[in-house]
Chain A
């Protein structure tokens, strides 16, 4: 087989520089053809999603805002091991570890906990690697449709524990649901 006839994709086309005929040079035929192509689109199904009434279906692997989980007794799972910060490709996570006091056993599950846990939402790319790295099931990316609310201050985009930790009543409700099942 000669090199001219080889076509790996099967869609190879030879470029031809042939002179246009009189009818082709008139362009009227081409214009009419084009008009009928657009006319076909006039009756085609529209792709628009009418947003406030209709909402686009979320992907099953959708990753939304982060949440620091509590266990069924309402204690924080995080032990401040730093694996999430290490795995984060955007370097969005920082934390500071502290030792649990004797009277804080009902607050933290492990002996060590994160006294400061911050995610910079301007850096986060929502890849979910922190979730995969976590050995304590502490950080999850929720299916919340709220990503990051807008703000005027850069500081407002650094989410601390106040905005990341799962609310206590939700944790208790989850525990009750699990017990009921």
Chain B
């Protein structure tokens, strides 16, 4: 690959745009969460700050910034600060490998709409997601508070349990796609060849696990207010608290994006090929980005919808679901996928 000035500028622009979009989406997810919650409960939600309460996230941020920065009597102030920082950075790092579109043709060159196309993108995502739990663990431990510690322990064990099922459900998908690059997975789903039609079980397991990974209801035992006050962020205040809350919404956005890319065709929409050939590369791909965004927004809405529908699981139910249902189910799914992929060889082996 040739590295020149234009390449660096191009990538910088893509990275800045992706970063900004992730931040804005996380910001407006807080607004959307409150609006969806209100509408599902026959209320109207925030409507004072700006039209329809659209300036509410700014007001919330300003409020958090102006709050007192409280430090508990903790033996390790450094880790207390590092906790939210890890949570925030891991939530934002995942978006680096997501293909937001195929390519744009501007200034006489093809701009690939992805920060980086690495061939182990899926492994990278799993790695970063696993580091995310350290933010919660370190924060909960450094708070020097029993409730925080219990929240952190719960979060850690929940994440570890559900990562296994999540990884196993991915294996079935990988056997089918044969690649870990998200760009190639997107390309394979051209037209309506969405993976969800071929791997519905894998999708279901992945969806349930991503609820657990993002610590959203019905799996939000780590911050369950009725038992643990605030869980791991009990002792946090001001913008450090804001970072934890923000990280939750940022990771919700990235996991909604991953679901859309892996199972719902990413930026593909029916007739994209025709649009690119007949109308133009740019228009076709901008529409693709819009399609991806529509899918992402739907899944963010779905997260909220589920949150305000299903009550929280009990801890033993959570572990039961993870270890005794989802993991065996994903292993069965792997075996079924293997049999379907190798059906010709198996038939030949038995002499059909």
**Chain A residues close to B by CB (< 8 Å):** 31, 34-35, 37-39, 41-42, 44-48, 50
Q: Determine if B40 and A48 form an interchain contact, defined as CB atoms under 8 angstroms apart.
A: no
How far is B38's CA from A46's CA once the two chains are assembled, in angstroms?
9
Q: Determine if A35 and B309 form an interchain contact, defined as CB atoms under 8 angstroms apart.
A: yes
Q: Within the complex, which residue of A31, A35, A37, A46 is in contact with B43, where a contact is CB–CB below 8 Å?
A: A46
Is B305's CB within 8 Å of the partner chain A? yes
Report the nearest B residue to A30, measured CB to CB: B310
Is B308's CB within 8 Å of the partner chain A? yes
Residues of B within 8 A of A46 (CB): 39, 42-44
Residues of A within 8 A of B44 (CB): 46, 48, 50
Is B20's CB within 8 Å of the partner chain A? no
Q: Determine if B42 and A41 form an interchain contact, defined as CB atoms under 8 angstroms apart.
A: yes
Residues of A within 8 A of B39 (CB): 41-42, 46
- Interface SS of B by simple majority: loop
> Which residues 280-308 of B sit at the A interface, judged by CB distance below 8 A?
305-306, 308
Report the nearest A residue to B307, measured CB to CB: A38
How far is B310's CA from A50's CA once the two chains are assembled, in angstroms?
29
- Interface SS of A by simple majority: helix
Q: Determine if B42 and A31 form an interchain contact, defined as CB atoms under 8 angstroms apart.
A: no
Q: Determine if A35 and B305 form an interchain contact, defined as CB atoms under 8 angstroms apart.
A: yes
How far is B41's CA from A35's CA once the two chains are assembled, in angstroms?
13
Q: Determine if A41 and B306 form an interchain contact, defined as CB atoms under 8 angstroms apart.
A: no
Q: Determine if B41 and A41 form an interchain contact, defined as CB atoms under 8 angstroms apart.
A: yes
Q: Determine if B40 and A35 form an interchain contact, defined as CB atoms under 8 angstroms apart.
A: no
How far is B43's CA from A44's CA once the two chains are assembled, in angstroms?
10
How far is B281's CA from A160's CA once the two chains are assembled, in angstroms?
82
Q: Determine if B309 and A38 form an interchain contact, defined as CB atoms under 8 angstroms apart.
A: yes
Distance between A88 CB and nearest chain B CB, rounded to angstroms: 40
Q: Determine if B310 and A44 form an interchain contact, defined as CB atoms under 8 angstroms apart.
A: no
Report the nearest A residue to B43, measured CB to CB: A48
How far is B70's CA from A58's CA once the two chains are assembled, in angstroms?
46
Residues of A within 8 A of B308 (CB): 38
Q: Within the complex, which residue of B43, B47, B305, B310 is in contact with A39, where a contact is CB–CB below 8 Å?
A: B305
Report the nearest A residue to B325, measured CB to CB: A26
Q: Within the complex, which residue of B36, B41, B309 is in contact with A31, where a contact is CB–CB below 8 Å?
A: B309
Q: Determine if B42 and A35 form an interchain contact, defined as CB atoms under 8 angstroms apart.
A: no
How far is B47's CA from A129's CA once the two chains are assembled, in angstroms?
42
Distance between A82 CB and nearest chain B CB, rounded to angstroms: 49
Distance between A168 CB and nearest chain B CB, rounded to angstroms: 42
Residues of A within 8 A of B47 (CB): 50
Q: Determine if B310 and A34 form an interchain contact, defined as CB atoms under 8 angstroms apart.
A: yes
Report the nearest B residue to A36, measured CB to CB: B309
Residues of A within 8 A of B36 (CB): 42
Residues of B within 8 A of A47 (CB): 42-43
Known: A31-B309, A31-B310. A38 touches B40 (CB 8 A): yes
Report the nearest B residue to A28, measured CB to CB: B204
Residues of B within 8 A of A35 (CB): 305-306, 309
Q: Within the complex, which residue of A38, A45, A50 is in contact with B305, where a contact is CB–CB below 8 Å?
A: A38
Report the nearest B residue to A34, measured CB to CB: B309
How far is B53's CA from A48's CA once the two chains are assembled, in angstroms?
15
Residues of A within 8 A of B40 (CB): 38-39, 41-42
Task: List 8 A-B pairs, minimum CB-CB distance, nearest first.
Answer: A38-B309, A48-B44, A38-B40, A34-B309, A42-B39, A46-B44, A41-B40, A35-B309
Contact with A along B306-348 (1 / 0, CB 8 A): 1011100000000000000000000000000000000000000
Residues of B within 8 A of A45 (CB): 42
Distance between B223 CB and nearest chain A CB, rounded to angstroms: 22
Further 5 A-B residue pairs, CB within 8 A, beyond A38-B40, A38-B305: A35-B309, A41-B42, A42-B36, A42-B39, A46-B44
Contact with A along B36-72 (1 / 0, CB 8 A): 1001111110010000000000000000000000000
Distance between B140 CB and nearest chain A CB, rounded to angstroms: 30
Contact with A along B1-44 (1 / 0, CB 8 A): 00000000000000000000000000000000000100111111
Residues of B within 8 A of A42 (CB): 36, 39-40
Q: Determine if B306 and A44 form an interchain contact, defined as CB atoms under 8 angstroms apart.
A: no
Residues of A within 8 A of B306 (CB): 35
How far is B39's CA from A50's CA once the two chains are assembled, in angstroms?
15
How far is B308's CA from A35's CA once the two chains are assembled, in angstroms?
9
Distance between A154 CB and nearest chain B CB, rounded to angstroms: 32
